[in-house]
Chains A and B, each alone.
Chain A
Amino acid sequence: GNSVTQMEGPVTLSEEAFLTINCTYTATGYPSLFWYVQYPGEGLQLLLKATKADDKGSNKGFEATYRKETTSFHLEKGSVQVSDSAVYFCALTISNFGNEKLTFGTGTRLTIIP
């Protein structure tokens, strides 16, 4: 079956540090890949996505590149801010006779300290 593995948290960084959160996947077929972010007390929001190999998704200074050869979709940001503190989920979806089921990783809690 399909699965997503992302780095264990929690991750604590100082403000302006470089961020990488690793994500690898296993899928049959050609998945679309996503990063969702969950701020405290809120639902998940789409952060960025990529729908085919070598696509780069980007938003709010975050980037991730769909690497088919390494089955990876690592999240990066050059300089994190306190406001980036949240839980980050890597996810994939493959259309399966109409069920656009999102398969999630376990989430990585990120804390940025001033």
Chain B
Amino acid sequence: EAQVTQNPRYLITVTGKKLTVTCSQNMNHEYMSWYRQDPGLGLRQIYYSMNVEVTDKGDVPEGYKVSRKEKRNFPLILESPSPNQTSLYFCASSLFPGGTEAFFGQGTRLTVV
């Protein structure tokens, strides 16, 4: 079954404690990205990756890092989380850019206290 898997689904952490949200896809997609969803703002892109070792900033990259060492995995790293990063996070992948369907993970609800 084609899917994007994120872990964990829920996470509560304290300010400043490094965390990683994992994302894996089984569709051999080249393009992957991370979004955060906040009330009244819709989804906003954090980072994206065109292929292995190719990553770039989206609209709201501050406070986040990513890596793409393998095609299937695209982890999101928060080195020093702050309360304003409390949000619902989604990983997405698609075969290639422009007009194609994006497949989304189930989301990770992060609370930073």
Contact = CB atoms under 8 A, between A and B. Distances in A.
A36 B48 CA distance: 19
A36 B103 CA distance: 10
A102 B34 CA distance: 11
Contacts of B50: 98-99
B67 to A, nearest CB: 18
Given A101-B48, A106-B40, A42 B101 contact: no
Interface size class of A (residues with CB under 8 A): 20 to 34
A89 B105 contact: no
Interface in A23-61: 32, 36, 41-46, 49, 51
A49 B97 contact: no
Interface in B80-109: 90, 92, 94, 96-102, 104-107
Nearest to B45: A101
Interface in B1-49: 4, 31, 33, 35, 40-45, 48
A51 B101 CA distance: 11
A85 B101 CA distance: 22
Interface in A61-110: 89, 93-95, 98-102, 104-107
A49 B101 contact: yes
Contact of A42 (B43, B44, B48, B106): B106
Contacts of A32: 98-99
B58 interface: yes
Given A105-B42, A106-B42, A107-B42, A100 B106 contact: no
Contact of B100 (A36, A98, A100): A100
Interface of B: 4, 31, 33, 35, 40-45, 48, 50, 56, 58-59, 90, 92, 94, 96-102, 104-107
16 contacts: A32-B98, A36-B104, A42-B106, A43-B4, A43-B105, A49-B99, A95-B98, A95-B99, A98-B50, A99-B58, A100-B102, A101-B48, A102-B102, A104-B43, A106-B40, A106-B42
